[in-house]
Amino acid sequence: MRTITVPKKLSARLSKEDGSKVIYFIDKDYGIKEGLENVMDFKVLHPSRPNLCEIKISLERVEE
């Protein structure tokens, strides 16, 4: 699975308490601009930030 670098303010990471599953979310507009539509799931939205949708690849979240 590939990993891309994304600014923290345009992404989120949710995980189970035991760390067994991690879900990454990316800002929809940013993901489209970067050509990531094919790995984005627009039906799965972040619970508190609806401008973010699930992305099916790992993110390296960095300060910008």
CB-based contacts of 22, cutoff 8 Å, min separation 6:
13, 14, 15, 16, 58
| pLDDT of amino acid 18 | 87
| pLDDT of amino acid 45 | 97
The predicted-structure confidence for 4-49, as pLDDT tens digits, reads as follows 999 999 999 999 888 789 999 999 999 999 999 999 999 999 999 9
Name the band, by pLDDT with cuts 50, 70 and 90, for residue 58.
very high
State the maximum Cα–Cα separation within the chain, in Å, rounded to a whole number.
34
**What is the pTM (predicted TM-score) of this model?**
0.90
List 5's β-bridge partners, or say none.
60
Q: How many Å apart are CA 64 and CA 48, to the nearest integer?
A: 22
H helix or E strand, kind and range, residue 26? strand 22-27
Q: How many helices (H) and strands (E) does the chain have?
A: 1, 6
Domain segments of the chain: what residues? Answer: 3-62
